[in-house]
Amino acid sequence: MEFTAKLENFNTKLWTWHIKVPNPIAKYFLDQGDKRVICMLNETAAVQCAIMPAGDGVFFININKKLRDQLKLKEGSKVNVTLEKDKSEYGLPFPEELKELLDQDAAGNKWFHALPPGKQRNIIYYVGQMKNPDLRIHRGMVFLEHLKRNKGKLNFREILDDFQKKT
């Protein structure tokens, strides 16, 4: 599904730069249970993302700084958008290092897959954002040790402390 939108800013602490998704298009995906989509912007950049509710029947997709810089977008810039259902298992590129760690750690794998999909994506994103493979391995190990120690419960403040202890 295709549409044109403009880059806007919510100017809040929680959400900032975004494009609004026309209500009929958002409803088309959401009515099928598909919140996760692949979003092609200006026929150049494809990203896996979520259609988010802003309230009052308005839906949006977040546009991060890296993407804005890549596409040279400024507030008010027109953006050509194509959306399709994201058929991937996790809704994000899955780091190979995390896959290997899960393959080798049965208990960590069990706790990881017991998490809700959104929490799994948090871990996948946080591990995958590192450019250095050694740091991806380190982050993955810290997350899995945390999950095992806390019986599958995530405490992000504690995880941040764990990262600092182990670096």
Domain count, the chain: 2
Q: Looking at the structure, tell me whether residues 6 and 81 fall in a common domain.
A: yes
Looking up residue 10, the CATH number of its domain turns out to be 2.40.30
Q: CB 59: neighbour CB atoms within 10 A? A: 22
Joined together, the tokens standing for residue 127 give 């591990």
Query: Is 91 a domain residue?
Result: no
- pLDDT tens readout for residues 41-77: 999 999 999 999 998 889 999 999 999 999 999 999 9
User: Which residues are registered as beta bridge partners of 49?
Assistant: 37
Joined together, the tokens standing for residue 69 give 């810089």
Structural contact between residues 78 and 4, judged by C-beta atoms closer than 8 angstroms: yes
Q: Looking at the structure, tell me whether residues 121 and 81 fall in a common domain.
A: no
Q: How confident is the model at residue 90 (pLDDT cuts 50, 70, 90)?
A: confident
Q: Looking at the structure, tell me whether residues 74 and 33 fall in a common domain.
A: yes
Residue 121, pLDDT > 70, answer: yes
Q: Looking at the structure, tell me whether residues 107 and 132 fall in a common domain.
A: yes
Domain extent, residue 11, equals 2-85
Nearest of 128, 129, 126 to residue 160 by alpha carbon: 126
Q: Looking at the structure, tell me whether residues 42 and 114 fall in a common domain.
A: no
Residue 123, pLDDT > 90, answer: yes
Query: Is 54 a domain residue?
Result: yes
Q: Please give the DSSP secondary-structure letter assigned to residue 109.
A: H
